[in-house]
Each structure stands twice: as structure tokens, then as C-alpha cells.
Structure 1
Amino acid sequence: MPLKLETFSNLKGGNALYKALAHPLTAERLQALIRELAQAGPVAVYDPQDTLASLAELYDLSGWELEGVYVQRIERLLEGREVLGRRVRPVTELPESRAAGLLICAFDAQRLHDHIRHLVPEGMRVRTLDEVRLPAEMLSNPRRYLDPLNFATNFAFLRDAEGQHTTVACCNYWHGYGARGTRLWLRLYDLDGRVLAEWVEPLPDAPVSYRIDSREVRRRFGLGPFTGSLFMHVQRIAGHDVVKYALDTYGDDPSELSCTHDANAWPADYYAGLPAPREEERVVLWIQNSNPVPIPPGAVGLSRMGSEEVRYLEREIPPFGSYGLDTRELFPELRWPEQLEVHAGRHFVRPRYEVLRREGPRRIAHANVERTDLEPDPRLPQLVGGLLGKGYILPAPLLPPEQWLTEVQPTPMARGQRELPLALVVQDASGEEVLRYRFGRIPRAESVAVSVNSLLEQAGKALPSGYGHVELVYDFSEGGGADGWLHGLFRYTRRDSGHAAETSFGAHLYNMPLVYRNEPQSYINVPPGLSTRLFLRLGPAGTDTLCQLIYPASRPWHPQSDTRLTLFDAAGQEVARAELRIPCGGSRLWRYSELFDEEARRRAGEGAYVMIRDLSCRLFGYHGLERAGSGGAVFSLDHMFGF
């Protein structure tokens, strides 16, 4: 059963009320408040901000003897609205109530209480959600509790078991927006939702890096092997309420190396882009319950993309607990390139999945949010090739074909997408178009994956620069409809070692002065977003960091980028700078060891990172780690993020 919660709106953004109600500390206090109200006798609820229904989705209110639900807005009365099975009543009828207690179901409730103080019957005890507020020292804006800056939270997957380890890394990017006294409040849960550890990591008032290593957490708190969720709450921040991070997995076996990134912190109804396994593989979907209420049996499930048949997981997952769902448990018959749709019911944040091979290392990646609010845009076929130029572009690396195999799989990512009219464009690093492959109009139920290496070989083409990138774009030459929410999965395999990585992302409009449907996207301002700020975490000793920066352009833009790279040490001190000039429509593949000399790397030390800035254009980037191995090179790869 899906939760009836507003977690995120593509028009309004994240819902701070949801995060306030679902916060683990708040959950403990709310459960106590709910018990106390039940024990006191009949309960009346004043619900001026439509909060009660959300509260009831996340907490068990069945112990209440509910006397009535009172509202402020006449529209709700005229609609005949019911909450908790009770028809709402005007708050002007509150004097007739015989309830023992009144819950004003709102935060910052003093003003709301003042408005009705004269209506509260004598002897009725008034309670409010302010009793369950987080302490003021945890807030960025104590004066407005539901300020999104107060709830910069996210979940990370963290494991230290069976020779497998995890790191979560980023930097104090809030310092750049003027934040002071920023800190990380962290709570680690095991698979059963039990709290293993809770601690605070202060971040100095500088753009310092931070790195949470599962091995260090295990040592620090004397823990045994664990797998579970790390709840992260970044406090005392400014400018940006989204918690971003790079997540690396590694092992005692040096061949274990993979990476992904943050979880997109608002639970959604559906996720997609989950690949079915090859014959020698298993795909494990990590369901991390992100709410203080259990996920009941039969509440989440999988379906083959394009099919209406949903097979449900018949087991309960505790509050803040996790479960690794082997896709073969529900769909033993499906094989790559089939893909699965995740019916999540707003129970968990964007999930990670692992691909486990019968022999060899595992790799980690994530599914993506499948939107429910989109239909094909009838104007798009005329705009692409016209005002939008090349239109929406989904760029991804084409690593040197002599060393890597590259596969591309388009992935439907909106419930209204019945087809994907697409083409794949192969671009040399110089910006020259080498090849264009037309998929045609791919039906939703048809999963297609192509080998870019094979396309090049069949066409007798080569990359003059030795590498380049690919772009998924719309192709309306055979008709069809699209909505702009274009996604794809990209797989890379080393020819020498067989080591693999995969990543997925969505398309945007890039580098054009015109704006269409809030694109080109801007992270912190109004569109168009025409500049670049990317974070590149650097790997530990024994690894090299690779990065490919791509300069996509929907319309002709500046001939070259003006890209500045600044190397910082772990304390946020600048160590060195470098510059790149990337041709429009091209890319640049580089390594840390090549761009910064040995002395700069020595001074930067462990925990260093690179900030990539470009005020002339919007770049898109991919990053990963490399390590030499006895059986060939091992590597990780994922797309980058900015803030």
C-alpha cells in the first residue's frame, strides 16, 4: 500500500514537513506524545495546515479515542473532507468538544494557538508539534522550523562485512554560502533498524573535505560486521538544503572497487532503470526503509518494464531497516537487457543496487526516480532541430575502445512514456560527430542495449582522438512523442580484467541562452544555468582518479571552455591550479596523476579534492578510481555532481 505523503514536488521541491515528521529523533518524541494523548482520554485535533493525514501515514494513531478533527479553512468543510474516517468540523465548534486533550497539529503553533485560545474548553490540555521539535542547536533557522535548511538530510548505504567496506565523502560546500558551525549529525542503523551508533562530526569553517569510512566507524564504536543505513543530517547550513556525497565501495580483495553517489532524499512512488541480471549475475536491490513506520508485506514490488504484472515482496521491513532484494527472488526468469520497474510506494529513498557476478567483483549503482506527472510534449518534435537545436542531450563517456567496452541502454523514466524516439550520437573528443545510430521508436516494453564498440566496428569508424563521448538525443524522423525526461544506463567493461562499472543519468538542455521548461537547469538560481561547479573527490593511496569532462551544447556555444581546476587539501586549503580548454561538443579525459605534478599531489595528501569551475559554459562530468591489478586494471565510474 503506497504511503499518501507529499515528499517532493517537481514544482515546489522537497517537502520540509515530511522531513520534519520522519526525522529519527522526532519519531521518538512523536511516539511518546501520541501515547500520552491516548492515555489522557478522548483526543481532539486542530488541523489548520492539513498535517494530520501525513502524521497518520507515518505513525500509529489507532490508540486514540478521536473526538473530532477541527479545521480552519471553509473550503475543506464544503468539500466534505474526511480525515481518519471523521468528517472535519469548523474550529468554531471546538467549545462543544468533550475531549480531554487538544493537539494543534502544526509546528510554530503559538500564533495558531492564540487564534483559538478563547475557543478551548476549560480543562482541555493543549499540546502542539512544537513539543517534538529538534533542539535549537540542530537547526539552521530556529525562527522558522519548516525552513528546508533545517532538514538537509539524506541516507547513505554503509557496509563493513565479509571483507567489503564503504566510504562516504564530500566537502563543506555550505561554507561557500556563508554557513558557520556546520556539523554532521549521523546515526547508523543495521538491517533490522536497530541503532548501532550515533555521533556528530563538526566541520571547520572552511571548505574542508570529510570522509566517513566504514572501517573507522566499526573501530570507533567497537562494532561487529554490519550492513545498513547511515542517516545524515547536516546542520547549521546556508544556501543549499540538498546533501550530496560520493559513495565508494572497496574490499580487502584489491579487485573490489566501485562507486555511486547520494540517494535523492525524498521517497518516490516509482523507480526505474534497474537492470535484470545476466546469466552469471545476481542483481540485489537495496531497500532502505526511510520512514519511522514498517514497510508491510506486499507494499513494495517489481514489474518487468512495460508490463502491468507486479510481483510484491511478502516480508516486513522495520522502520529504518534495510533489505537486499535479489531480483531473481521475484523475477527468476528475467535476463539482461530486460529492465525492472520498482514499485516503492514512497517507503524508501532512491535505491542502490549491486550486480554480483558468480566469479569476480561486485559493482554498485542506483536506480532513478520515475516521474508520475509527465505526458508527451506535443511541441517537442517541432522545437528539436529548431529553437532547441539538438535539444535534450544525455552525455556519457566513450572511454578508449581499445581498453574498454561501452554499452548504452535507454531507460523509460516516466509512467507516461509509452515509447522513446531516440538516436545515439558518437562524438570524438575534438567535438567531431563520428557516428549516428537511430534506435527508432522504442516501445516501453522493449528493452534495448547497444554496444558502441560494435557500432564503430560495423561502420568502419574510429575515434581520431582515441576516445570521446556518446549522446542520447531525441530523433523524431519516424514520428513519436517525448516529454524531455530522457534517461539511460551506461556500462563499461575493461577488456583486460573484465572489471565493470555502470552509471545512469537524465538528459538536459545544455549551453543555450533560450529557456524552455526551466532548462538549461540551474542548481541554485533561475535558468539558464550556463556555468559549472563540480566536485571531484580524489582516491586514497594506491589509486589514481580519472575524470572525463564533456561539453555538450544544444545550440552552438563558445568554441572552447574556460575550465579552471583547483586542488584543495583536506583542510580546504588551495594547493594548485590547472586549466583545460575543451572544444564545444567535445570532451577531455584526464587523470589526477597527469594533470597535477608529484609535488602538488604530495602537498595535497589524503582527503584532497578538486573543484571544477567554468563560468563560460555548463560541463557534465564523470569520475572514478583506477587501480592496477594482477589480472588487469580495476576501476569505478559514476557521474559527478555540483552544488
Structure 2
Amino acid sequence: MALNIETFSNAKGGNAFFKAIGHPLAARKATALLADLKAAPLAIYDPLGFARAFAEIYDLSGLDIQAVYVQDLEEIGSEILGQKAQPVTDLAAAAATKVLVTAFDAERLIAHVRHLLPAGTEVVSLDEMRLPEAMLTNRRNYLDSLNFATNLVFFRDGDGHHTRLATANYWSAYGARAPQAWCCLMDAQGTVLAEWQDALPGANASVVIDSKELRERFGLYTFTGSLFLHICGIAGHDIVKYALDTYGDDDAVLSCTHDANSWPADLYGGLPAPKEGEQVLLWVQNSHPAAVPAGSVGLNLMGDDAIAWLDEEIPPFGTRAIDTAALLPAARWPQQIEVQAGKHFVRPRYEVIANGATNPPRRRIAHANVERVDLKPDPRIPELANLLGKGFILPAPILPRERFRSIALPTPMSTCQANLPLALFAYDPQGKEIGVKRLGKLPRNHATSVDIADILDGQDLDWGHMELVYDFAEGGEADGWLHGLFRYEDKTSGHIAETSFGAHVFNTVMTYKGEPQSYAGRPPGLSTRLFLSFGPQPYRPLCHLIYPASTPWHAKSQTNLMLHDANGDLIAEQEVQIACGGSLLWQPADYFSATEIETAGPKGYVIIRDTTCRLFGYHGLMNGEKAFSFDHMFGF
């Protein structure tokens, strides 16, 4: 029951067609279009090959389709919408009074075949579903990805739970003149609760959407669902990045995560099984204006082919919490769960509820990751050590050990990963190696977590960082899509936070298959621009910056910490230096005065800028010893 649509290709990037037909505004127009098409015998002209994808999202069974015509000779005779495709030159013989052209910007396409249309035939196209022109960046090319900078946000408010999205207007810094945020808030049934459009503030200024403020603004009751966010009139990036704080009226509810990755995937990995006494809820946000049929979403233990399917339909744009124990009752941490998603939803979040530990129970939210289906082992990766040194590195913090446990769990994240040949290294803040655990060649179904204390074996280290890297001492294969989950347990409060990410090649001038990755321009990416949000009151931000290097790079970073207010005005700036291969754990109060922080305000933020190297960052919130949150940062 997987959707046969193209959402994202690593070769071509994101596919805008599914976003164009699945946008909430387009879906409303599609209802009227399809109702009109039911009134007469219909022919389909599919010049660009979009008809099948269109039928995956919209039910065309009520249409009286007489024939389907194509332009591509290779498509002739193939089955499209239950018909054998015919050459468009046969259109003149169509027994239809209406023709639907399954394309946008269809005026020229229609002009090419107008002489083939039977007399009196009415022609319509998907242009009937276009968004208002004012929402478009490129009005000449409707399917330009810049026209569909969209993302889904898990949004909840009520019963002591709140959510807060924070980002910056980085589009104006790339030249956008007057970007706007079009927002549509939907409840768990996909019903629209509120819809609005706000102008974004100036370049790099703070953008904050808080669920508590929305309830007051629109007079809403409690809700759990999706915020559909569309940034219009953009430049530079077509990706909507954000940090999402989940906080509550009680300290038991606190976590942070980030953007949902706006391209629905076939599979997701890195979903942890519950520990004894925990409940793990997988939050599924249907990304489309079509219901997810029962039996289309499933869970299985990583490396196990036995899939348990959800026997429940999820409505268009609906949100559902799936209790993993209901489908996989025997799964236990550190086992991992694979999510069979069928391209029905974006990267899902999961919520861990520690039942019985406190009253109310502590909760944390994190996200699964996209599991690649297009990779195969790369035999060159083991051979590149002489040129790429460490090669692919997955860095993560070691938080102050007196208070926190820092735990690593390697997570298979592509279907070709039959084994994971890995080692985990520990480093002090100056980049000195102080411990290593060679994990060997882990099988796909492994359940091996590593407590950093076991690596350090009593050594005197307060904090630093760890690096998960390939290690081929016992053989094995690699594809470059190395991932891990990192869990941090507060020994004082019992609160837990976790984050997951993938490896990259860092800080080397040599490039390999798009690495070292660059946010803008061609690789190598050798500079840093990270966003640190202040978060809701009374919490205080925390940041851990890591300077990983695949090969030796500059001995010290030249990192600027730039404090801004909500309008994007620079309040103060400090320079710090981080040792190559080392890290820096800090809070804004370490470098900025109380007056400066007060001037920045609760919607202020820090931009972390370095033109000499690429840093990898983690951020979180602290409230004394009561609770904390932690996740990796986004850059632009």
C-alpha cells in the first residue's frame, strides 16, 4: 500500500509535483476540479508523466476515463489509470467531451495539440489547482522548488503540553525581498483549526510560533496535530528548517527536536524500543490530502522481516499516535524499530513516556531518520583513509559526567547495511583521544549501546565529545550513510534527552560524493552558520560545539558568537577558539552580560559563525537541575 510517488532523489533533489498537488490550498481546488470532471466522458493527456502520481493522491475512480494519451513514445502501450496509453496523435478520435491535461504550466502543452482536439472539446489542466500568484517565487515555472518551501510541524497545546517553533528569516539574507509565512493548523482529524499569513521580519530575524500564543490569538481549544508551514517569496534555500521545543506546565515535559524533513520516505529507522516501564509513541502525521489506508503503516524490529501492520485508517492530514508496544510487545531497548511508512508521512517524531518514575511522568520527544533505499556498499570507502583520514565522522557530545550519562547506539539507516563496522572514540575539549571502543562488525539486528563511562574506564574527564567512525579491522561494508542515536540521562532529575543524526566528512579540502557537505554552493563546506534559539521562559539555552576534522585542519577555530534580538539587530559579539578535534560546552551567560541578554529578549538568538572551518553543534534548554533538553542544531 505504499504510494507510487517520487518525493526526493539524491541526484535531483526534492520533487515539487507531489507538494504542488498535495498542498492544502490545492487540495480544496482539486475537489471542485474532480467534481466538474465527473460530468462528462473524459480523456487524459499526460505529456509529462504525472498522471499516475496524481491518481495516488486523488481518487479518480468516479471519472469516466475513455482513454489516456501520451507524448513520450516509450510510454505507448503502458498502463496508465487502467488504460493502455495511446499516442497523442490519436487524440482526434477520442470519444470524450473533456480532456484533462495532467500538468501545470499547461498553456503551451495544450497549444501543441489543440489542432488534434475533437470539435467542441473542453480542455482543463492542473493549473486549476494553482496556488495564488502572490504565494509564488517563480511565476514562470510553477514547479520550481522555490515555490514550495513547505514543511509539517508536530504541534500540540493543552493538558500542560506546549510546542514552540523557532527559526530565522535566512531567506532574506539570500536576497528574498518580502517573504511571507502561510500557516495552516490542523487537528488530529486533519480538520483546519486556523489559517493565516504573516510577513517575516528582516534578514536573519527571529521567527517564533508558540502554540500557547496561537490558542489565544484564534480562541482555540486544546489540540494535537500538524502545522503546515509554507514560506513564500523565498531565495537561496527551499528547505524550511526550524527548532521545535516541547515544553509543559511541569518540568516533566521538556524536549527539543527540529524540522520534519519535508519529503515523505518509504522507511524510517532509529526508533528506539522502550525500556522496562517506558511507553514509546510514534507520532504519524499524514502528509497528504488522501487517507492512509489501514494496513499501510507497519513496524518491525530492525533486521527482522516480520512486520506488524496498523489496522487503522489515518484521515487526510491526520495525526495519530501509535503505541509501539501494541504492535511489537516484546521489543526492548537497546533494540531498534524500523518504520514502514510507504511515503505517506514525513520524518516522524516519537514520544517516550517514563511511566511510574514521577507524577506526572517525564516525557521526551525526538525523531526517527530517513532510511535510504537507493544505496549500495561503496568499496572505495575503506580505501580512502590515505586521502580522507578519518573519513566519515559522526560527532556527539559527552556531557558533564558528574551529572549525565552519555550513551551511543549505532543505528542502521539504509536497506543495504547488512553490517556496521564501527569504532567509538572519546576526546577531551582540546581534541586529545582519551578512549576507544572497537565495536567490530555489528550485524543489522544488533542491540549494542555504549555508555561512555565504559570507554573512559575511570579516566579524569568532565566533558568532551565522542566520534563514531568506520573501522574495518574485522572487515565489513560501508555506504557513507552512518547514523547513531545518542541518549543523555540526568542522574539528578532522571530526565532523559536523545538525538540522532548521520555522519559527514568534515574539514578537508578533498571532496568525495558531495562531502564535505555545503549548505550553499559546491562542496567542500568549510564554514559554519548555526542558529541557537533562546527557547521559552524560564529555560536557558545550552550549546555544545564540536570541531571534527577528517584530516588535520586549522589548529584553532575562529568562531564568532553573535547575539541578536528578535528583529535581527546585533546586540553583542564574542570570539572563541576551539581546538581542532575538540569541543566547547557553553551557555550565553558565559560570554554575554545579563544586560545584553535582557536586551536580546526572550525571542533573541545567537548566530554561530566561522569562515575557517565547519563546526557541528548541539543545543538544548536547562532549568537548573529540574529538566533539560538536547538535540543537534541546524545551519543555513
Q: TM-score, normalised by structure 1?
A: 0.97
AA paired with 2:463? Answer: Y
Q: Distance in 1 between the 2:515 and 2:536 partners?
A: 37
The CA deviation at 1:205 is 3.4
Aligned partners of 2:137 and 2:512: how far apart in 1? 34
Deviations 1:556-591 (A, max 9, x none): 111011111111100111111011100000000000
TM superposition shift of 1:34: 1.2
- What is the CA–CA distance in structure 1 between the aligned matches of 2:523 and 2:213, rounded to whole Å? 42
Match in the other structure for 1:374: 375
Give SS of 2:423's match.
Answer: strand
Q: Is the 8 A contact 1:182 1:205 kept in 2?
A: no
- Paired residue secondary structure (1:215): helix
* 1:539 positional shift: 2.4
2:6 corresponding residue in structure 1: 6
2:180 to 166, 178, 183: 183
Contact residue 570 and residue 609 of structure 1 kept, 8 A: yes
Range 22-31 or range 315-324, more displaced: 22-31
How far apart are residue 498 of structure 1 and its match? 1.1
Q: Please give the per-residue CA displacement for 1:387-416, whole angstroms capped at 9, x wherever unaligned.
A: 110110000000111111011000000001
Residue matched to 2:43: 44
Q: Which residue number corresponds to residue 395 of structure 2? A: 395
1:433 and 1:205 map into 2 onto residues whose CA distance is: 44
Counterpart in the other structure of 1:515? 511
Aligned residue in 1 for 2:324: 327
Q: Which amino acid in structure 2 is aligned with residue 579 of structure 1?
A: E
SS at match of 1:601: helix
Alignment of 1:249-268 (within 5 A): 249-268=246-265
Name the SS for the 1:634 alignment partner: coil
Q: CA deviation at 1:454?
A: 2.7
Aligned to 2:452: 452
Partner deviation per Cα, 1:406-434 (whole Å, 9 max, x = no partner): 11000000001000000000011110000
Q: Structure 1 residue 456: deviation in Å?
A: 1.6
Deviations 1:179-234 (A, max 9, x none): 12211111111111111111112113332211111111111111111100000000
Which AA in structure 1 matches 2:406? T
Whether contact under 8 Å (1:544, 1:593) holds in the other structure is no
Partner Cα distance (2:104, 2:82) in 1: 23
**1:581-632 deviations in Å (ceiling 9; x for gaps):** 000000000001111111211211120011111111000000000002xxx3
* CA distance, structure 2, for counterparts of residue 534 and residue 170 of structure 1: 11
Selected match of 2:222 from 225, 235, 259 = 225
Instruction: Tell whether 2:631 aligns with 1:642.
Output: no
In structure 2, distance between residues paired with 1:129 and 1:544:
49
* Aligned-residue offset at 1:19: 0.7
Whether contact under 8 Å (1:100, 1:125) holds in the other structure is yes
CA distance in 1: counterparts of 2:291 and 2:201, whole angstroms: 37
Could you list the per-position Cα deviations for residues 233-270 of structure 1 after superposition, in whole angstroms to 9, with x for gaps in the alignment? 00111111000100001111133211000000000000
Question: Which residue does 1:564 correspond to in 2?
Answer: 560
Aligned mates of 1:316, 1:256 — CA distance in 2: 29
SS at match of 1:635: coil
Spell out, residue by residue over 1:48-91, the C-alpha distance to the aligned partner (whole angstroms, 9 max, x if none): 000100100000000111111111111222xx311012111111
The aligned runs of 1:408-557 (5 Å cut-off) are 408-457=408-457, 460-463=458-461, 466-557=462-553
Question: Which of 331, 334, 351 is the equivalent residue of 1:337?
Answer: 334
- 1:276 is aligned to 2:251: no
In 2: Cα distance, 1:266 partner to 1:554 partner: 30
- Contact between 2:201 and 2:207, CA under 8 Å: does it hold in 1? no
Is contact 1:406-1:451 (8 Å) kept? yes
Aligned-partner residue type, residue 582 of structure 2: G
Question: What is the distance in 1 between the residues matched to 2:251 and 2:272?
Answer: 26
Matched, 1:83 2:76: no
**SS state of the match for residue 387, structure 1?**
helix
Residue 135 of structure 1 is aligned with which of 132, 139, 159? 132
Equivalent residue for 2:154?
157
Number of residue pairs matched by the alignment? 632
Which shifted more, 250-259 or 123-132?
Answer: 250-259
Using the TM superposition, give the Cα deviation of residue 286 of structure 1 relative to its aligned residue in structure 2, in angstroms: 0.2
Runs of 4+ deviating beyond 3 Å: none
For residues 467-487 of structure 1, give each alpha carbon's deviation from its aligned partner in whole angstroms, at most 9, with x where no partner exists. 100000000011111111000
Give the conservation status (yes or no) of the 8 Å contact 1:546–1:591.
yes
Secondary structure of the 1:375 match is: coil
Is the 8 Å Cα contact of residues 622 and 628 (structure 2) preserved in structure 1? yes
After TM superposition, give the deviation of residue 524 of structure 1 in Å: 1.6
Matched residues in 1 for 2:260 and 2:341: separation? 14
- CA distance in structure 2 between the aligned counterparts of 1:543 and 1:205, rounded to whole angstroms: 26
Query: Which residue number in structure 2 is paired with residue 209 of structure 1?
Result: 206
SS, match of residue 285 in structure 1: strand
* Shift of residue 303, structure 1, vs aligned partner: 0.4
Q: How does 1:278-357 map to 2 (within 5 A)?
A: 278-357=275-354
Partner of 2:366: 365
The answer to whether the 8 A contact 2:16-2:143 is kept is yes
Structure 1, unaligned stretches of length 5 or more?
none
Question: Which residue does 2:611 correspond to in 1?
Answer: 615
Under a length normalisation based on structure 2, what TM-score does the superposition of the two structures give? 0.98
Displacement of 1:295: 0.3
Q: Tell whether 2:53 aligns with 1:54.
A: yes
| Native 8 Å contact 1:427 1:468 kept in 2 | yes
2:505 is paired with a residue of what secondary structure?
coil
- Do structure 1's residue 27 and structure 2's residue 27 form an aligned pair? yes
Q: What RMSD, in angstroms, separates the aligned Cα atoms of the two structures?
A: 0.9
Q: Aligned letter for 1:130?
A: D
Which residue type is aligned with residue 560 of structure 1?
A: K
- Secondary structure at the aligned position of 2:387 is classed as coil
Which residue does 1:592 correspond to in 2? 588
The 1-side partners of 2:43 and 2:408 are apart by 57
User: Aligned letter for 1:461?
Assistant: Q
Contact 2:103-2:125 at 8 Å conserved across structures: yes
> What's the CA shift string for 1:86-120, capped at 9, x where partnerless?
11111100111120100111111111111111111
How far did 1:375 drift?
1.1
